[in-house]
Structure 1
Amino acid sequence: MVRAAGASPAAGAGNAPQDPRRTRTERRRMSGRVHQVLATLGYGDAIGHEVLGIQRVLQGAGYESEIFVETADRRLERLTTDYREMVGALAPDDVVIHHFSIGSRASRTAYALPGRMALVYHNITPPEYFVGIHKDLVKLCFRGRRELTAYIARCELALGDSEYNRDELADLGFTSTGVLPVVPDFSHLDLPPNTMISAAFDDGWTNVMFVGRIIPNKKFDDVIRAFHVYHTRHNPRSRLLLVGSYSGFERYLAMLYGLIARLGTPDVHFLGHVSNEELTAFYDIADLFLCASEHEGFCVPLIESFYKRVPVLAYAATAVPATMDGGGVLYSTKYPFEVARLMAAILDDQVLEDSIIASQDTALARMQRRDFPGTLLRFVDQVRALAPRPAPQVAWDFWSQFDQAERLEELRQFRPAVYKALPPDPGRGTRDAGRAGSTAPIPATRARDAASRPPDPAPRTPDPAPRTPHPASRR
């Protein structure tokens, strides 16, 4: 079923006007630097769209604004600067918007430099989802969640891009928090659709689609099981289109292919990473967007489906209900026969489908009425009103203590007798707060972060990272 691109009654907010309270004269008088730092600027992903949207607002308000990264997609390199260029360039009066995902060299460099910091938290997938799938990500996600606590004393403001993420920050101990909503910029979906996609899949069959990276927390296995029941019991003229990169998760992809073979499910298509023109075409031919994800910090494809007027059926977990905001249909069962019945009910009843799309239009209109530029600039004003921050003093082994804490936590969980036999070490500061002789602070309140934080930095500053050529550098 082909829909007109941009058929939603709400206009994209990527071109939203600046805060009307800031006149042109005020913007000319405004001076200062507000930069962003993150590990990677990706092409076509939600964080990348948000970073570029933030830069447009900041530059439109008169701020000098760079994007410092470790790596960038080659199509976006010209918009970025190597993160090592921050060393010697940042001043105490600057503001750094730090997009924290998994702890990185860019994050650690920004931590040790002068400037007031506003942290934006996009959430980190709980590491247990990657056990047996990607051992490196198990370690990175565990370490990233621990490293996040180190920024409690470093940040002037901590922002989640959803209320769910803001709640996590508050639970961890960040005192000044807020919500910076995702930039609802749909310009990438207004491009002419790829005609080859339409020719291949717009053939009268029912197209069920999900968009997202092929990773375990998004529960592609649940999507496949539900589609299998729908295909075999309700509509044999249907196919499943799974759009998203599987790079680095080939083992999980192989497991999904094994599941498809065991079920004997035909017409399941893994389409990999696609261009914006191809993504537009897939949304245009989709009849239903089916999401079974168990962990989302926001889930932008839900809102993209709203914009493209594709009915959404989604599992009610983490941030998904708040993101949908009354639009679409939520379900709470893991039973694939029940999910398949819901799919059939939506796809076989045009009146019901129209009412679902109307609810999505209403939810999207509410989202696009939010004043993103004004909200962002108010948060920037809040941080700039605080005293300039000189570079903190960071112990030479400050970050290595997270590795040590990871090893201790592994002992605590899997070899408790060995852990309990360890002698107290007041100098280490990575033992549970309840153990005698430990100087570690009280751990974070969430159970999954039961191990304590590292100690406050000692008065010693490391040498800056070596400055070597990097493809993201413009200098």
Structure 2
Amino acid sequence: MAINRNIFIYAPDIHEGDAVGNHCLGLAQVCSRLDYNVYIYAQRYSTQMQAVSILNASELVTSISSDDILFVSYSIYDSLLDELLLLPCNKVCYYHDVTPYELLEAYEPVTAELCKKSLQQLPLLGKFNRLVATSHFSANRLSEFVRDHNFDIVPPVFEDFGLLKYDSKPNPITNSKYFDLLYVGRIVPHKKIEDLISCFSLLPAKDDIQYRLFIVGSMPNYEYNKMLFNYARQLGVSAKVTFTGTLSEADLLYRFQSSDAYLTMSLHEGFCIPVLEAMHFGIPAIIRCGTAADDLPSDTTLIVDSVDEAAAIIPTLREKTPSGTAYTQRAEQILAQTRDEIWGAIFSDL
């Protein structure tokens, strides 16, 4: 056990509900169970979790000693990275992957510039004692900048955190009149929400079934949101497409449990937690190929190249609903890769 050894968990931004923030908060719980003394630092932060204290990152460099472990979560340009690398302690970098800046330039130029600047920082990650990536996809992308370095692969989830802590059995309440499609995540350009709407518009109209699309997540970009609303109206599907905004955990749980299929047309994912959550609840997930989400399902027939291909698959799911057992079992296999002892082994080697 690691009694009286300190772990300092740091990310530029730690916000509950965000993938990076949730991972930092979940890892803090793991480290506490492993008997480490845990301290969380960020430049910008927010959480409603009781008994969780996040400290200002400006205090980090004066608080850490050579016997401690520094855990740095990296997903975008970090103005403190050079300073952190000078600290005398052992260091672990957890790499979420950086969104290609080209996907953001049209609607989010500031974030695009930060992603572009991060490309200059990525070689510096080779100075960490240990590199851990969210997925093989993320590790392969980082290996283009950091050579001759071994990577651990540990998914950014925990079985006792978020929706994955709930029973995987589907909600018994069903309504055969509707076939509900679900997307969960930030409503931002590289997620290609417009392709979800295009796909939905191609679904056949039938008297015995009504397709509905629920798009769940924060909507931070006004211009992009406006484009999406207008696009849904132009395609004549706005009445059947619901933008819910962010939901409480209870409402999000219900939305997963009552959905018939999950759909994502995202152009970049470092992992894609909602796909894993859908699998956990036995829901088939249709995924656009070319991201880290490709590695999640065991059923590759639902990995598609195009909007048209996704639209062709959805009606077949209604006609012959796949067994949810295979999805749930695959989710359990992935969660097994995130057990406390996995992290314990990584930290104990430092």
**TM-score, scaled to structure 1:** 0.67
1:303-322 matches, cutoff 5 A: 303-322=276-295
Specify the alignment match of 2:191 in structure 1: 218
> How far apart in 2 are the matches of 1:234 and 1:313?
24
Match of 2:346 in 1: 379
Conservation of the 8 A alpha-carbon contact between 1:165 and 1:297: yes
Structure 2 match to 1:52: 25
1:183: Cα distance to partner?
2.5
Which SS does the other structure have where 1:379 is aligned?
Answer: helix
Question: Is the aligned partner of 1:128 residue 2:102?
Answer: yes
Partner of 1:448: none
- The partner residue of 1:207 within 160, 163, 180 is 180
Report 1:424-443 matches (<5 A): none
CA contact (8 A) 1:210 1:241 kept: yes
Residues 361 and 251 of structure 1: CA distance in aligned 2, closer, same or farther (over 3 Å): same
Which of 79, 83, 87 is the aligned partner of 2:57?
A: 83
For 1:404-415, what aligned pairs fall within 5 Å after superposition?
none
Q: Decide whether the 8 Å contact of 2:3 with 2:35 is kept in 1.
A: yes
Query: What's the CA shift for 1:65?
Result: 1.4
Mapped to 1, the partners of 2:286 and 2:160 lie a distance apart of: 21
Q: 1:341 aligns with which of 295, 306, 312?
A: 312
- Whether the 8 Å contact between 1:99 and 1:120 is mirrored in structure 2 is yes
State the partner residue of 1:147: 121
The structure with higher relative contact order (CA 8 Å, sep 6+) is: 1
CA distance in 2 between counterparts of 1:235 and 1:251 reads 37
Give the corresponding residue for 2:156: 182
Contact map agreement 2:193 2:265 (CA 8 A) in 1: yes
Q: Over residues 4-60 of structure 1, what are the superposed CA-to-partner deviations in whole Å (9 max), with x where a residue is unaligned?
A: xxxxxxxxxxxxxxxxxxxxxxx2x74421211001222223323322232222222
- Counterpart mapping for 1:200-279 below 5 A: 204-230=177-203, 232=205, 237-247=210-220, 249-265=221-237, 266-279=239-252
Cα 1:62/1:333, change in 2 over 3 Å: closer
In structure 2, the residue corresponding to 1:259 is in which secondary structure? helix
For 1:155-166, what aligned pairs fall within 5 Å after superposition? 155-166=128-139
Counterparts of 2:22 and 2:209 in 1: how far apart (Å)?
A: 38
Residue 126 of structure 1 and its aligned partner are, at CA, apart by 0.2
Corresponding residue for residue 304 of structure 2: 332
Distance 1:234 1:93, change over 3 A: farther
Separation in 1, partners of 2:227, 2:82: 35
How far 1:176 sits from its partner (Å)?
3.4
Tell me which of 65, 72, 91 is aligned to 2:38: 65
What residue is the counterpart of 2:257 in the other structure?
284
Q: Is the 8 A contact 1:99 1:121 kept in 2?
A: yes
| Residue of structure 1 equivalent to 2:84 | 110
Alpha-carbon spacing, 1:235–1:203, altered in 2? closer, same or farther (3 Å): closer
Describe the shift of the 1:176–1:263 C-alpha distance in structure 2 as closer, same or farther (beyond 3 A).
same
Whether 1:41 and 2:8 are equivalent positions in the alignment is: no
Cα distance change of structure 1 residues 113 and 234 upon mapping to structure 2, 3 Å threshold: farther
The 8 Å contact of residues 74 and 95 in structure 2, kept in 1 or not, is answered as: yes
- Is the alpha carbon distance of 1:297 and 1:365 closer, same or farther for their aligned partners in structure 2, counting shifts above 3 Å? same
1:360 to 321, 327, 348: 327
Instruction: Give the partner amino acid of 2:319.
Output: D
Q: How far has the Cα of 1:371 moved from its partner?
A: 5.5
Partner AA of 2:328 in structure 1: D
- Letter of the aligned partner of 1:281 in structure 2? Y
How far is 1:365 from its partner? 2.4
Aligned residue in 1 for 2:111: 137
SS in 2 for 1:120: strand
Letter in 2 for 1:364: A
- Work out whether 1:323 is the aligned partner of 2:290: no
Secondary structure at the counterpart of residue 125 of structure 1 = coil
Q: Which has the higher strand share?
A: 2
> Which residue identity lines up with residue 332 of structure 1 in the other structure?
V
Equivalent pair of 1:34/1:65 in contact (CA under 8 Å)? yes
The number of residue pairs the alignment matches comes to: 342
Cα distance in structure 1, aligned partners of 2:198 and 2:313: 14
Alpha-carbon displacement from aligned partner over 1:325-361 (angstroms, at most 9, x marks no partner):
x14742333142x3222100001224xx22xx22212
1:233–1:221 distance in 2 versus 1, CA, 3 Å: farther
Partner of 2:294, secondary structure, is helix
* Cα deviation, residue 79, structure 1: 2.6
Aligned identity (percent) is 21
**Partner secondary structure for residue 44 of structure 2:** strand
Query: AA paired with 1:114?
Result: P
The amino acid across from 1:86 in the alignment is: L
Q: What SS class does the counterpart of residue 17 from structure 2 fall into?
A: coil
* Alpha-carbon distance, 1:61 to partner: 2.0
Question: How has the CA–CA distance of structure 1 residues 320 and 74 changed in structure 2, closer, same or farther, with 3 Å as cutoff?
Answer: closer
Q: Which moved more, 1:63-72 or 1:178-187?
A: 178-187
Structure 1, unaligned stretches of length 5 or more?
1-26, 193-197, 385-475
What is the rounded CA distance, in whole Å, between the counterparts of 2:27 and 2:108 in structure 1?
32
**Structure 1: which amino acid aligns with 2:69?**
V
RMSD, matched Cα = 2.6
- Give the match's secondary structure for 1:133: coil
